[in-house]
Every structure is written in structure tokens, then in C-alpha cells.
Amino acid sequence: MTDTNKPVYTFKDFASDQEVRWCPGCDDYVVLRSIQKALPLMNRKKEDFVFVSGIGCSSRFPYYMDTYGIHGIHGRAAALATGIKLANHDLSVWIATGDGDSLAIGGNHFIHLIRRNIDVNLILFNNEIYGLTKGQFSPTSLIGQKTKSSPFGNIQPPFHPGELAIGSGSKFFARVAGGDTKLQQRIFVEAEKFEGAAIIEVMQNCVIFNDGAYDKYTDKAVKSDAQLRVEHGKPMIFGKENNKGLVLEGLKLKVVTIGENGVTEGDILVHNAIDPDPTLHLMLARLEMPIVVGVIRAVPGKTVDELCNLRLAETRAKSPFKSVNDLFASGETYEVK
């Protein structure tokens, strides 16, 4: 829900007076700045934004935003957000959360938030590590990754946030590199417009405990060949020379080069983010090279918070009971004289 007569904000309006305390070089700074720049584009009143988080480096996010905010307890941001949205459907509620926060301890609330399609925007800072507690493996850490709690290398296979989200019924899933502020801003704006739970996975580099985790996708030298940015209605073309693309071969995706082996631009798959069938979205989310960034899935649908409010309003309008007094006096009562 957006109003029309909105004050005009700049990113400074969304910066709180608290000093930002992440490690120098942490991608979290980029995301913070992206949000602060994206909010003014959303045509919403400042007082309607609420930032909610759990615990973790990334979960300090709300403190740095000059909006309403809760720095919650570990893993429970989604549940906080659900309560807020059910209480007041008109707010724009954002969740800042880590891979530990949302996929380890908060896993249950994460999948249920998605199942209910609560109209919030969830930024998943996936650094594949526990930052705040100083470097244990997380549910997205790779097999073999050596961390404080896996000195011999991690043996627990990782979740893939996109697959988990879509498996839980996700209607909106996007991915973006931690340093890519431009794309972040665009995705944030799209997420805000989307009615439902928008899950945005940020491939966030932790310079201290898992530095370089995404280098193969984000290094300047390889970036354009290693990231495929999808856009609804556009062909899935990428590469330094903008001549690579995706085609379907049976039930598998294949990278081809336009101009080679008779492949033309017309052969390249066109992205359909709003297809309710998740099959292709899942393939895109799963693709390892190139990695797919941008809004992979954005299927319109009902949100539980809206349904809840609608039904409330309807029932209320129809009910003969205007006060609990009416209820108390209804049905089987009797007099004592």
C-alpha cells in the first residue's frame, strides 16, 4: 500500500545517529547504503518503515537505520515481523538476517514466513559463516570449510537458500552480490512493490572469517562471465561480450554462445519471473556457473497478513455484535432475582 503525497527523502534521512560498527571492508556497509538509497525511491512515509532483525553482525542493521526497528533475539526476526505485519498491514517491514540467524536457529520461522507469504522483505546476508560469534560454520558453509568449530573441515552439506525458499513455497526470490549496490537498490525497490514475502539472498563477503567466499563470482576479472543477471521478460544473456546465454536441453540448463554453432539470440531463454510453476526458477537458483542474480521469481499471490485483515474487516462489518457486551448478553443467560 502506497500513498500519493509523500515527502521527498534522501538517503541521509534513513541514517541513524549510531556509529556503524562493522569491520572495515565488510559488505554489510554496501547493503546498508543500498537500502538507504533505495528507500527514498519507494514513495512511502518514513514512519511506515520497520526494520527487524535477529542477532548476528548483519542483524545490527536496524540500529543504523533511522526508522522504527527491533534488534530481536537470535533467529526470531521472521516471527517478530509476522506479528508486526498482522498487527498493522500498512507498514513496510524489512528483515535483516544472517545465514545463521535465518537458516540455523531461525530456520523454522524462515520457512513458515515464506509459506504464509507474509508481506515483508527479507535480506539474507549469506556470508556462509557465523560472523558475530567469531567464525563457526553455518548451514550454508561449504563441505570441507575449516572454521573454529570445524577445525578438520565441515562435514555438513549446505542448504541452498533459493531451493529451501522455493521448497517452502516462496513466491519471490532474488539474489545479488554483496558489492553490487546498483542491483541491490533495484531489487529492494522491486521487493517493496511485491506483495508477499520477498527473499533476497546477498552473497555477502565477511572479510574476517570467510574472506573471498564469493571471489569466483565477484572478482572484477570474472564477474561478467560468472554472473547472469536475469530480468523478467528479457533473454538470459550474459558474459563479457554479452554473447553467452542459457538454453534448455531436456531438463537441464546449458550455457551457449550466440553466434557459435548457429545459436542466435532468439534461441536464448526469456526470463519469466511470474510463472507460478517453480521448475525453471529452481533450475536457475541451482545453477552454479554462471550464478544467477536479480529477481529469479516473483509470482503474485495472496498474503496471510492481507487475508487476515480483509476477513477481519468483512466479518466486522457484517456482525451484529458491536461490543463485547453484546456477546456476553447473547445466547444462554438467565436471571437471578
Partner 1 sequence: MTTENTHLEKRSLKNVVIRFVGDSGDGMQLTGTQFSATSALLGNDIATFPNYPSEIRAPQGTVYGVSGFQVHIGESAVHTPGDDVDVLVAMNPAALKTNLSSVPPGKTIIVDTDSFTKKNIAKAGYEENPLLTSQMDPYVVIEAPITSLTLESIKDIGLDKSSADRSKNMFALGMVYWMFSRPLEHTIDFFKKKFKNKPLVIEANIRALKAGYNYAQTLELMPSPFVVLPAKMEPGTYRIINGNTATAWGFMAAAEKSGLELYLGSYPITPASDILHELAKHLHFGVKAFQAEDEIAGVVSTIGASFAGELAITTTSGPGLALKGEAIGLAIMMEMPMVIVNVQRGGPSTGLPTKTEQSDLLQAMYGRNGESPAIVIAASTPENCFDYAFIASKLAVEHMTPVILLTDGYIANGSAPWKIKTVEEMPEIKNRKVTGVEGTYEPYERDPETLARTWAVPGTPGLEHRVGGLEKQDITGNVSMDPENHQHMTKIRQEKVDRVANYIPELEVEGAQEGDLLVVGWGGTYGSLFTAVNSMYENGEKIGLAHFNYINPLPKNTKEIFKRFKKIVVCELNMGQFHMVLTSHFPEFEYYKHNKIQGLPFSVVELMNKFQQILDNK
Ligand X SMILES: Cc1ncc(C[n+]2csc(CCOP(=O)(O)OP(=O)(O)O)c2C)c(N)n1
By C-beta, is 170 or 218 nearer to its own copies?
Answer: 170
211's grid cell: 574472506
The interface with ligand X within residues 102-161 (CB under 6 A) comprises 125, 127, 129-133, 138
Q: Contact at 8 Å (CB) between 50 and 94?
A: yes
139 part of the interface to its own copies, by CB under 8 A? yes
Q: Is the dihedral of CA 213, 219, 222, 223 positive or negative?
A: positive
**Best CA proximity match to 103, nearest among 174, 186, 199:** 199
Out of partner 1, Mg ion, ligand SF4, none, what residue 28 binds, judged by CB under 5 to 8 A for its kind, is: ligand SF4
Q: Which residue's CB is nearer to ligand SF4, number 23 or number 248?
A: 23
Contacts of 29 (CB under 8 A, 6+ apart): 20, 22
Residue 101 binds partner 1, judged by CB under 8 A: no
Among the listed residues 65, 124, 183, 206, the single contact to ligand SF4 using CB under 6 A: 206
Contact set for its own copies, span 247-266 (CB under 8 A): 248, 251-252
316 contacts its own copies (rule: CB under 8 A): no
One symbol per residue from 1 to 40: x for binding ligand X (CB under 6 A), - otherwise; what is it?
A: ----------------------------------------
The Cα 162–Cα 172 span in angstroms is 10
* Binding segment (CB under 8 A) for partner 1, from list 165-173, 279-287, 291-299, 324-332: 324-332
Nearest to 94, CA basis, from 20, 221, 202: 202
Residue 292 lies near partner 1 (rule: CB under 8 A): no
Taking residues 46 to 65 in sequence order and writing x for each that binds ligand X by CB under 6 A, - otherwise, the string is ---------xxxx-------
Nearer of residues 98 and 290 to ligand X, judged by Cβ? 98
Q: How far is the CB of 75 from ligand X (least distance, A)?
A: 7
Nearest one of 197, 143, 145 to 174, comparing CA atoms: 197
- DSSP designation for 105: I
Of 100, 112, 15, which Cα lies nearest the Cα of 59? 100
Alpha-carbon span 70 to 52, nearest angstrom: 5
What is d(CA 134, CA 158) in angstroms, rounded to the nearest whole number? 19
Name the residue nearer to ligand X (CB basis): 40 or 100.
100
Q: Which amino acid is at 310?
A: L
Could you list the residues that contact ligand SF4 (CB under 6 A)? 22-23, 26, 28, 57, 127, 131, 206-209
